[in-house]
Amino acid sequence: MNAEQYKKLVKQTSIGKVLPDAIYFHKDYFNEAPPLLIKFIKVVANALKIEDNDWNLVKLFKNDFRISLLNYPTFFENSYPALHQSVTIDLVKLSHRIAKYDTQDNPPILHRKETMIPTSHKYHEEFSLITQEGEAIGLYENTRMIGFKNSWERLIEKHGYELVDGRLFRSSAVTTNKNEKVIDRHKTALVRHELSAPIKSIAKHGFLSGDYSIFDYGCGRGDDLRELEAHGIDALGWDPNHRPDVDKVQSDIVNIGFVINVIEDKDERIEALLGAWELTNKILVVSAMLANESYISQFTPYKDGVITSRNTFQKYFTQAELKTYIENTLDENAIAISPGIFYIFRDKEQEQIFLQNRHKRTYKWKQLTTPEPTDEVQARILFTQHEELFTEFWNACLFYGRLPATEEFERSNELKEVIGSTKKAFRLVEQWFEPSEMTVAETMRKEDLLVYFALSLFGQRKAYTHLSDTLKRDIKAFFDTYKVAQNQAKEMLFSISDTQLIEDECILANKTLPASLLNDGHSLILHKKFAEMLPPILRIYVGAATQIFGELDDIDLIKIHITSGKVSFMGYDDFDGKPLPLLVERIKVKMAEQDIDYFDYIDEFKRPVFFDKHLLIDDSFNHFKIQKKFHKNLVMKFKILENGSSNCDYSGQLFQLKLPLQLLHSLSYKNYKKLIL
């Protein structure tokens, strides 16, 4: 084989971990590689008398006539295996170089192992989870820092995590039961250099404004506390190993972060959760580690969890199990914020406000009409003199969909001084603004309330006798009584099991949304930006799924399955900035089981391409016009059909284009002409 033949075969190789200058793959991938290339690799190894058990990975150089035979003996045992030996063969000079690393303290290590074995391999899912953990905490942001063992371990420590049996985790213990097997709980409290995920979620929702006191139950070494205190936030914490003498104090927000999963005694675990709840005035934040059965099965079982190699206990949950455990222990509703993180509200009025805001649409009212002068000269003069005040009042009416109460409009007293009452003010502004806007506002507000009440029923939240004053006014204005509101909401909730109704609503949504993609009888796909424009029934359908999964921060598209009672959420690599966005993650929520399936596309060069982006955006998106032009040019250039392709592998609306992978990966609106031309 000559250099030209070699490079041609390497170019045809679409398996393995693909880098700009090389391709790596394990021997277990040989059956899916070009046979002639694999035969050549084996001939080279035999010629150099390299024993078969002295190498298990091959590195193919793209630009040079070279190959490397690499030996990672712990490839299947170690999450980030170390390189023991490398044999690099220069086929131009007919020479080779052997480098040994097995005695070095800082050998090269391997990442993203799932890319180097077939997707059907029994270890593929486990390896994908390992990579997903590292990506989630930002370990792969600077790839130059991760190539060697010591720098990798420092990077993990810098991010506040530690490897335990190949998995990353940070948690804090409570107490040790001396009568049972001694578990080294103190080893679970790790040093971190940024806020933990639960505390970040509190910040995201505006609870770190300084208006709330914070208590960290099981604070470890106190990394979160130091950061919060540096920002002037009232934060205290207790930990049985690192801060055992600190008093446990009542606080507005209590965080028990990754604590319950390290307590091996069931009764003590319950006591910890109840103890944190007793300290909570407003919100309890509970988080725990998640894992699947295949990962858990590799450890030594102990009680209802496992023992790690560091003699620490771990109780792993699924999302559904964690929600059930919290609710059964506290007899309170647990609200999913993200996988492994839940909020439990002591302040039920605040819970209602939180949930209402989750499902309340925002509408930017555009004044499309000009005020028409009234025949009453005095009223016309009055409005002209106080136009700003009356305009603000009208916007408040549109916001609530009804007359706002005194405390709901900041300038109520000023308004009453000018005209006497809000009712008189409303009669006046109705003559000056478009009455149909108020009709739309009333409809939207009533629909938002029905969605909120229906999702409250889906989550089996208790009926609270103490409603917020705003909610009481809403109920009176739109339903007359709370019972009427609940009955209407219950009817809507039950209707989401009617597949014919769901299909009819999807067809309607496809006609009314600014952009969407309807697969007849199967599904409706839309951008999350348009979710609040869905008909109320579909908003409840999607809202039920988000109650199980959490918030859609990293999600771009929503797929409503018409007949299966499922909703899928898809996240892409820069959906807004790329004409052919690549699928990064897909989450399927199974509402009947109230559980989640995760599908991750870790290998960036094997991520499915979304071909029909132009069908799911409108002119409110940047690059809308250029996206339409791009699609038209792509169809013409590659003769891609609208319902399939001679140059693409078609699967639903996802296409794996037969184009250079590096080009697809880097393709942006600025350089898309390279593809077309």
- pLDDT, tens digit, for every residue of 545-576? 998 888 888 899 999 999 999 999 999 988 98
DSSP 532: G
Q: How many helices (H) and strands (E) does the chain have?
A: 22, 28
Neighbours of 551 (CB within 10 A): 15
Q: How far apart are CA 602 and CA 668, in angstroms?
A: 20
Q: Is residue 37 within 8 Å of 8, Cβ to Cβ?
A: no
Counted residue by residue, the chain has a size of 677
Pairing of strands 214-217, 251-257: parallel
DSSP 429: H
* Residue ranges in the chain modelled with pLDDT below 70: 142-145, 169-194, 359-380, 460-466, 636-666, 671-677
**Residue 173 confidence (pLDDT):** 33
Q: How far apart are CA 215 and CA 213, in angstroms?
A: 7
Neighbours of 209 (CB within 10 A): 8
Strand partners, 380: none
Pairing of strands 214-217, 235-238: parallel
Query: Helix 319-330 to helix 536-549 angle, to the nearest 10 degrees?
Result: 90
> Residue 422: in which H helix or E strand, if any?
helix 422-432
Strand partners, 524: 518, 560
Neighbours of 408 (CB within 10 A): 16
3-state secondary structure of 251: strand
What phi and psi values does residue 478 have, to the nearest 5 degrees? Answer: -105, -25
Q: 447 CB contacts (<8 Å, ≥6 apart)?
A: 536, 539
Whether 138 is covered by a domain: the verdict is no
Q: 77 CB contacts (<8 Å, ≥6 apart)?
A: none
Whether 162 is covered by a domain: the verdict is no
Whether 401 is covered by a domain: the verdict is yes
Q: Is residue 25 within 8 Å of 110, Cβ to Cβ?
A: no
Whether 104 is covered by a domain: the verdict is yes
Q: Examine the domain organization and report whether 285 and 383 are in the same domain.
A: no
Q: Examine the domain organization and report whether 382 and 335 are in the same domain.
A: no
CA distances from 457 to 478, 487, 543, 544, 547 (A): 19, 10, 12, 10, 12
In this structure, what CATH number is given to the domain that contains residue 339? Answer: 3.40.50.150
| Pair of tokens at residue 312 | 């620490």
What are the contacts of 568-572 at 24+ separation with CB within 8 A? 569/545, 572/610
Helix, strand, coil percentages (3-state) for the chain, rounded to 5, are 40, 20, 40
Q: How far apart are CA 247 and CA 238, in angstroms?
A: 7
| Pair of tokens at residue 106 | 């800082």
CA distances from 279 to 20, 78, 235, 249, 605 (A): 54, 42, 13, 6, 49
Strand partners, 261: none
Q: Examine the domain organization and report whether 292 and 177 are in the same domain.
A: yes
> Residue 22: in which H helix or E strand, if any?
strand 22-26
| Pair of tokens at residue 293 | 């059965």
Q: Is residue 276 within 8 Å of 217, Cβ to Cβ?
A: yes
Q: How far apart are CA 143 and CA 147, in angstroms?
A: 7
pTM recorded for the entire structure? 0.58
Q: Examine the domain organization and report whether 294 and 394 are in the same domain.
A: no
Whether 494 is covered by a domain: the verdict is no
Q: How far apart are CA 249 and CA 256, in angstroms?
A: 14
Domain range for 416:
377-433
Q: Examine the domain organization and report whether 191 and 318 are in the same domain.
A: yes
Q: Examine the domain organization and report whether 228 and 340 are in the same domain.
A: yes
Q: Is residue 503 within 8 Å of 510, Cβ to Cβ?
A: no
Q: Examine the domain organization and report whether 218 and 294 are in the same domain.
A: yes
Dmax (CA) for the chain in angstroms is 105
Q: Examine the domain organization and report whether 340 and 274 are in the same domain.
A: yes
Q: Examine the domain organization and report whether 311 and 240 are in the same domain.
A: yes
Q: Examine the domain organization and report whether 49 and 181 are in the same domain.
A: no
Q: How far apart are CA 633 and CA 224, in angstroms?
A: 52
Number of domains within the chain: 4
**Residue 378 confidence (pLDDT):** 64
DSSP 216: E
Q: Examine the domain organization and report whether 196 and 307 are in the same domain.
A: yes
Q: How far apart are CA 279 and CA 323, in angstroms?
A: 20
Q: Is residue 384 within 8 Å of 391, Cβ to Cβ?
A: no
> Residue 214: in which H helix or E strand, if any?
strand 214-217
**Residue 185 confidence (pLDDT):** 46
Q: Examine the domain organization and report whether 289 and 419 are in the same domain.
A: no
Whether 573 is covered by a domain: the verdict is no
Whether 423 is covered by a domain: the verdict is yes
Whether 658 is covered by a domain: the verdict is yes
Q: Is residue 528 within 8 Å of 552, Cβ to Cβ?
A: yes
Quick: pLDDT tens for 119-156. Answer: 889 888 888 888 887 887 778 876 656 778 887 887 88
Domain boundary pick from 418, 433, 448: 433
Single-letter amino acid, residue 509: A
